[in-house]
């Protein structure tokens, strides 16, 4: 029996195209993106954000995490939001935006350092080739973690997004080594088709100088 040829141009529906309950809620609440509910859940579970904190938000555009952070840290806090693309919202006075590539920026990232919290929701432009996407996600995560290790206060917190893949155990081990506790969270707002998770390091360890 010969198999019927596949119909040309027939594609699977794009699961990201249709606004879901989170997209609708974000729009109603005036947030730039549905991603805000991922950070909200992480924050509710781990109690990360409060008034007066200094926060770095890597991969901040279109801006919903930064909006949420500004609400939580209040006027006495400081937020530096960084992205290659511009934000789609205007942040209140405690928030500053810097447009650039987090893979190559240097001292610009230290504007409000040392930080209490470093966040990274950075994601590569996906190619539809899973392995490549995962490798690029790993690079962004690894860079965010290095920035966090350089700029966090002792006791500080790191939250980084990564696409689950082969390098995951290595990533988790690196975080475990540098923080008191490591948690891996997949908030409910993460779409079913997505393989992203958030690795959270709580309590940046203080580097102890080697003894003689």
Ligand X SMILES: C[S@@+](CC[C@H](N)C(=O)[O-])C[C@H]1O[C@@H](n2cnc3c(N)ncnc32)[C@H](O)[C@@H]1O
- Which positions are annotated as active-site residues? 161
* Cβ atoms of residues 179 and 202 within 8 Å: yes
Which residues are registered as beta bridge partners of 157?
A: 117, 202
Closest contact distance (angstroms) between CB of 5 and ligand X is 37
- Choice between 17 and 208, CB closer to ligand X: 17
Return d(Cα 84, Cα 102) in angstroms, integer.
Answer: 8
Task: Return the closest-CA partner of residue 172 out of 137, 162, 119, 194.
Answer: 162
- Choice between 139 and 203, CB closer to ligand X: 139
Closest contact distance (angstroms) between CB of 140 and ligand X is 6
- Choice between 81 and 175, CB closer to ligand X: 81
Q: Which residues bind ligand X (CB under 6 A)?
A: 32-33, 35-36, 59-65, 82-85, 101-103, 121-123, 140
Longest Cα–Cα distance in the chain: 78
Closest contact distance (angstroms) between CB of 34 and ligand X is 8
Phi-psi region of 64 (alpha: psi -120 to 50; beta: other; left: phi over 0): alpha
In this chain, which residue has its C-beta nearest to ligand X?
59
């Amino acid at each position: 029996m010969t198999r019927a040829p596949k119909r040309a141009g027939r594609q699977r529906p794009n699961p990201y195209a249709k606004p879901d309950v989170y997209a609708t809620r974000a729009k109603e609440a005036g947030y730039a993106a549905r991603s805000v509910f991922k950070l909200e859940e992480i924050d509710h579970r781990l109690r990360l954000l409060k008034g007066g904190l200094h926060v770095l938000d890597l991969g901040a555009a279109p801006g919903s995490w930064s909006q949420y952070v500004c609400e939580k840290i209040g006027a006495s806090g400081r937020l530096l939001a960084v992205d290659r693309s511009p934000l789609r919202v205007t942040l209140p006075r405690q928030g500053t935006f810097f447009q650039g590539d987090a893979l190559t920026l240097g001292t610009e990232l230290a504007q409000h350092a040392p930080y209490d919290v470093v966040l990274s929701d950075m994601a590569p432009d996906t190619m539809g080739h899973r392995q490549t996407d995962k490798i690029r996600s790993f690079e962004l995560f690894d860079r965010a973690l290095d920035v966090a290790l350089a700029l966090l206060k002792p006791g500080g917190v790191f939250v980084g997004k990564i696409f689950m893949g082969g390098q995951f155990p290595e990533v988790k081990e690196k975080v475990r080594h540098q923080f008191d506790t490591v948690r891996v969270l997949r908030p409910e707002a993460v779409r079913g088709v997505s393989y992203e998770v958030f690795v959270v390091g709580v309590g940046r360890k203080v580097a102890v100088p080697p003894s003689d």
